[in-house]
Amino acid sequence: MYPPETPPTCDSCIREPRRQSRYAPSAYSRLNLCDECIKADIRCYSCQVRAAFSDGRLLRGTVKVDDRDYRCSYCASPSLVESQDAADKVLYSTRNWLDKWFARHGEEEKILAKLSISVTLVDAATLATGDGEKGTILGRAIWTRGSTDFQIKIIRKLRVVPFLETLAHELTHVWAYRTGNDGKEAIEGFCNYVAYMALGTVHGKLADDARRREAYMLKEVDIRYGGDFKAIRLGCRSETANPVTFFKKMA
Ligand SMILES: [Zn+2]
Ligand SMILES: [Zn+2]
Ligand SMILES: [Zn+2]
């Protein structure tokens, strides 16, 4: 005889026995939520899973970074980019990776290395206002026409992997601007494609994080950020395909 199955309790409110959860655990926070907690309408800024209620209650493990900025239990856990020094290190390695990636695909060498590019950690509220490339909701790149100074803003307290992904996306915008490809409709999809390729290079202890983030990117439904990204990915599946040429030929 097997012991009777215990009905699953809600991972957030733990009150039991709850009605059996009809919902799959959230992809990122891994919380199994009950009928009440699934109504939490404020999302994690980093991964968009449910994180809090608008009346102020937080789901288990959620951290409120500021008024508009919440992190689910997963995205709030350690390995966060909190210092300028940590941000600069990722900027340096990601920029070099992109320069090599573009050179490998027939582009001029060291385009990004020749520019003055800085990365600043900002609050979500700051990021959401002002001019510049709209970016992903996690970052944006800002420059003035003709200048060689580029500022990338990324929200504070991201985990290293989404930080790297956001940076790769924004650096691709900078590359596109420098090479005269920034006016293309498919630019957001292309930036996401390059960011996705950058995630593919992440192994070791951050590998699990990177694989989750890749899955998250593939679920993007927006026609530009998701649709164009998937079109480039499908069109460039063969070893010999050149995604840069592919992108340039797109409308
Ligand atoms: Zn609950
Ligand atoms: Zn999250
Ligand atoms: Zn963008």
Q: Count CB-CB contacts under 10 A for residue 79.
A: 12
Q: Count CB-CB contacts under 10 A for residue 123.
A: 16
Angle (CA) 77-171-191 rounded to 5° is 85
133 pLDDT tier (thresholds 50, 70, 90): very low
- The answer to whether residues 95 and 112 touch, using CB atoms and an 8 Å cutoff, is yes
Tokens (6 digits) for 51: 């994180």
Ligand nearest to the CA of 16: 1
Rounded to the nearest angstrom, the distance between the alpha carbon of 33 and the centre of ligand 1 is: 5
135 pLDDT tier (thresholds 50, 70, 90): very low
Q: What per-residue confidence (pLDDT) applies to 169?
A: 96
Q: Which amino acid appears at position 31 of this protein?
A: L
d(CA 97, CA 100): 5
Ligand nearest to the CA of 15: 1
With a pLDDT cut of 90, the percent of the chain lying above it is 48
Q: With the C-alpha atoms ordered 196, 202, 203, 204, is the resulting torsion angle positive or negative?
A: negative
Rounded to the nearest angstrom, the distance between the alpha carbon of 36 and the centre of ligand 2 is: 19
151 forms beta bridges with 118, 142
Mean pLDDT of 209-234: 90
Rounded to the nearest angstrom, the distance between the alpha carbon of 28 and the centre of ligand 2 is: 6
Residue 127 has pLDDT above 90, yes or no: no
Q: H or E stretch including 64?
A: strand 63-66
Tokens (6 digits) for 55: 């009346």
Q: What per-residue confidence (pLDDT) applies to 119?
A: 96
Rounded to the nearest angstrom, the distance between the alpha carbon of 18 and the centre of ligand 1 is: 8
Rounded to the nearest angstrom, the distance between the alpha carbon of 75 and the centre of ligand 1 is: 20
Using DSSP's 3-state secondary structure scheme, residue 9 falls into coil
Q: Which residues, 6+ apart, have CB-to-CB distance to 97 below 8 Å? A: 168, 198, 201
Q: What is the pLDDT of residues 32-77, one digit of tens each?
A: 788 888 889 998 888 888 899 999 999 988 999 888 789 888 888 7
Rounded to the nearest angstrom, the distance between the alpha carbon of 46 and the centre of ligand 1 is: 22
Ligand nearest to the CA of 189: 3
Residue 204 has pLDDT above 90, yes or no: yes
- In 3D space, the residue among 200, 149, 194 whose CA is nearest the CA of residue 170 turns out to be 194
Rounded to the nearest angstrom, the distance between the alpha carbon of 75 and the centre of ligand 2 is: 4
Mean pLDDT of 161-168: 95
Mean pLDDT of 198-219: 91
Rounded to the nearest angstrom, the distance between the alpha carbon of 140 and the centre of ligand 2 is: 19
Instruction: Indicate the range of 21-25, 159-163, 183-187 predicted with least confidence.
Output: 21-25
69 forms beta bridges with 66
Positions of E strands within 85-180: 116-122, 139-142, 149-155, 158-159
Q: What per-residue confidence (pLDDT) applies to 44?
A: 87
Ligand nearest to the CA of 59: 1
Ligand nearest to the CA of 65: 2
Q: What per-residue confidence (pLDDT) applies to 13?
A: 80
Ligand nearest to the CA of 45: 2
Report in angstroms the alpha-carbon separations of 122 from 25, 158, 223: 30, 11, 27
Ligand nearest to the CA of 138: 3
Ligand nearest to the CA of 75: 2
Instruction: Indicate the range of 24-28, 138-142, 198-202, 203-207 predicted with least confidence.
Output: 24-28
Q: Count CB-CB contacts under 10 A for residue 99.
A: 20
Report domain extents, the chain: 1-77, 80-249
Rounded to the nearest angstrom, the distance between the alpha carbon of 1 and the centre of ligand 3 is: 57
Q: What per-residue confidence (pLDDT) applies to 19?
A: 57
Residue 24 has pLDDT above 70, yes or no: no
Mean pLDDT of 139-160: 88
Residue 16 has pLDDT above 70, yes or no: no
d(CA 135, CA 170): 7
